[in-house]
Amino acid sequence: MIVSRKINEIKGIIDSAVVMGTAENKAILKAAGLFLPEFENTTDTDLLIGIKAEGKSIINEAMNTIEKLFSDLKNSTDDTSDFLPRSLEGAIRQLPEANLSLISVAGKYAASEAKKALRNGLHVMIFSDNVPIEDEIDLKQFAKKKELLVMGPDCGTAIINNIPLAFANAVNKGNIGIVAASGTGLQEISSIISNAGAGISQAIGTGGRDISKQVGGIMFIEALKTLNEDEETKIIVLVSKPPHADVLQKISREIKQIEKPVIAMFIGGDEKLVKSSGAIAAATLEEAAIIAINLATGQDPEQSKAGLQFRNQKIDKLAQIEAKKKTVNQKYLRGLFSGGTLCDETQLILQKYIGDVYSNTPLNPEYKLKDSNQCFENTILDLGEDEFTVGRPHPMIDFSLRNEKIIEQAENKNVAVILLDVVLGFGANLAPSAELVPVIKKALKKSPELTLVCSVTGTEKDPQNKKKVKSELENAGAMVMDSNAAASEVAGKIIKNLK
């Protein structure tokens, strides 16, 4: 990914990818138009290089750069570095008191490594994706018998004993526990809670497929039981995309056994079923966090809704002011997201104001974009999907693709609002303002009447510092909101006022 990013920075490179020859990567290369006939018979251990460029000389420059980068990586040594074990067994010998293993290897090898960890009595977090669902089911059933947790596969976020794992934020220690089949959903809720002065006991990710019919919510339910038994956890928050109906029934039955307050935010899920289980249903990630905060501080959870209603009234006035600035042609919204759950939440909120929107990951399948690179009317893109990440780091790390699309949409005279999520924390881009500020200024120069709305997910304890990032983006001309829900509200209301 480092090599891919460097190549894409070369002038004259249209697109490129440097990836291993797995079946999944080959499929993505084909979709991106970077697949060559020579790739057909390659294996998982082969390195595939696909380049689109303006001329042969640029391709030669790119290949020379690739050779130099790999040579530099091969020759780089650090004699002062600590010993790094080359196997799980070696790691256990070096750290025998460990009770958790984080697995990040190619998907086809992840299950066997995770099974080794479970056999050694370790909880497991599997960052790897492309793990067969049959392996996921087997691992989780095996872990359940051994009273261990399997977070993942494709689990990008967790906070265990106040230690952020993978893409997570630096949050306060507290008495609110989270179970999430959603990485950025977990980040948004935990950050809002921490920013309000409350804190997190444990935040357990499960991987998005856990709530599917096939997996059956095995770990979602086990994590819920774990938090119920945890003495430090007094309030529990559940977050995910809508679980399969059968899985939601299972979760609801389990909630009825829980004596602690439970708040549930299942994006687009059955609110009546959630309430019938005894849980408090939240309409947004922000509302789930605020309800948890109120419960943690001994306040009536209904106060959270009153506070949000007052905030939304202020947004109404702000949206009216912004709408009056638009030209006759400006009428559409374009959302460019790095967080999948934040993208889904935005679509849900927008339904109230402008109806369904087009997306590469639509809540309404009828609004699936024919071409994810061609926005149509009101469009929300999840740039973290495979189609956009071939050969490049996740958009929470690498802003280059989104930066290009911001300028592209700013040049479209029909676009009134561009909506962005900026996700901070460990693993994310360490200098988001340095990359976004010049792009925001350029976009607003091209389209002075454009409204560019950002949400910032994170805390002041994060390496990037939320307060600092928010100030820098505002100074560049962006309208910055403290939550994704608030940003979505203002964006939706501006477009509604244009109709």
Residue 51 has pLDDT above 60, yes or no: yes
> What is the phi/psi pair of residue 128, to 5°?
-60, 145
Mean pLDDT of 199-224: 98
Dist. CA 254–CA 236, nearest whole Å: 13
Res 484: pLDDT: 98
Mean pLDDT of 311-328: 94
Res 305: pLDDT: 77
Task: Label residue 421 by pLDDT band (50, 70, 90).
Answer: very high
CA-derived radius of gyration, the chain: 23
Res 423: pLDDT: 98
Tell me the two tokens of residue 484. Answer: 């994704």
Res 499: pLDDT: 81
Task: Label residue 397 by pLDDT band (50, 70, 90).
Answer: very high
Residue 183 near residue 425 (C-beta atoms within 8 A): no
Mean pLDDT of 338-361: 97
Residue 494 has pLDDT above 60, yes or no: yes
Across 8-17, 161-170, 264-273, which has the greatest mean pLDDT?
161-170
Residue 322 has pLDDT above 90, yes or no: yes
Pick the CATH number of 88-301 from 3.40.50.261, 1.20.1740.10, 3.40.50.2020, 3.20.20.70: 3.40.50.261
Between 6-10, 69-73, 281-285, the lowest mean confidence (pLDDT) is in: 69-73
Q: Which of 146, 133, 154 is nearest to 206 (CA)?
A: 154
Residue 79 has pLDDT above 60, yes or no: no
Mean pLDDT of 70-95: 76
Residue 77 has pLDDT above 80, yes or no: no
Res 85: pLDDT: 85
Only one residue has tokens 């997570």, namely 168
Pairing of strands 157-160, 163-166: antiparallel
Mean pLDDT of 37-53: 91
Residue 135 has pLDDT above 60, yes or no: yes
Res 76: pLDDT: 64
Res 23: pLDDT: 83
Other beta carbons within 10 angstroms of residue 317's beta carbon come to 10
Q: What is the pTM of this model?
A: 0.89
Q: Which residues contact 32 (CB under 8 A, 6 or more apart)?
A: 15, 17, 50, 387, 390, 391
Residue 81 has pLDDT above 70, yes or no: no
Q: Which residues contact 491 (CB under 8 A, 6 or more apart)?
A: 333, 335, 346, 350, 417, 419, 451, 453
246-275 pLDDT, tens digit per residue, is 999 999 999 999 999 999 999 988 888 889
Between 8-12, 27-31, 400-404, the lowest mean confidence (pLDDT) is in: 27-31
Res 83: pLDDT: 67
Residue 78 has pLDDT above 80, yes or no: no
Dist. CA 31–CA 9, nearest whole Å: 22
Give the CA distances from residue 336 to residues 29, 31, 349, 404, in Å, rounded to whole numbers and listed in that order: 22, 20, 16, 11
CATH 3.40.50.261 intervals, the chain: 88-301, 307-498
Q: Which residue has the higher pLDDT, 219 or 388?
A: 219
Residue 387 near residue 455 (C-beta atoms within 8 A): no
Pairing of strands 47-53, 479-481: unpaired
Dist. CA 415–CA 438, nearest whole Å: 20
Pairing of strands 200-205, 235-240: unpaired
Res 1: pLDDT: 67
Pairing of strands 358-359, 379-382: parallel
Residue 114 has pLDDT above 90, yes or no: yes
Between 55-64, 134-143, 172-181, 391-400, the lowest mean confidence (pLDDT) is in: 391-400
Between 12-26, 138-152, 219-233, 397-411, the lowest mean confidence (pLDDT) is in: 12-26
| 3-state per-residue secondary structure call for the chain | CHHHHHHHCCCCEEEEEEEECCHHHHHHHHHHCCCCHHHCCCCCCCEEEEEEECCHHHHHHHHHHHHHHHHHHHHCCCCCCCCCCCCHHHHHHHCCCCCEEEECCCHHHHHHHHHHHHHCCCEEEECCCCCCHHHHHHHHHHHHHCCCCEECCCCCEEEECCEEEECECCCCEEEEEEEECCHHHHHHHHHHHHHCCCCEEEEEECCHHHHCCCCCCHHHHHHHHHHHHCCCCCEEEEEECCCCHHHHHHHHHHHCCCCCCEEEEECCCCHHHHHHCCCEECCCHHHHHHHHHHHHCCCCCHHHHHHHHHHHHHHHHHHHHHHHCCCCCCCEEEEEECCHHHHHHHHHHHHHHHCCCEECCCCCHHHECCCCCCCCCCEEEECCCHHHHCCCCCCCCCCHHHHHHHHHHHCCCCEEEEEEEEECCECCCCCHHHHHHHHHHHHHHHCCCCEEEEEEECCCCCCCCHHHHHHHHHHCCCEEECCHHHHHHHHHHHHHHHC
Write the single-letter amino acid at 54: E
Mean pLDDT of 418-435: 97
Burial level of 93, CB count in 10 A (0-12/13-18/19+)? exposed
Q: 307-498: what CATH class?
A: alpha beta
Between 70-79, 210-219, 243-252, 283-292, the lowest mean confidence (pLDDT) is in: 70-79
> What is the phi/psi pair of residue 240, to 5°?
-175, 170
Res 269: pLDDT: 83
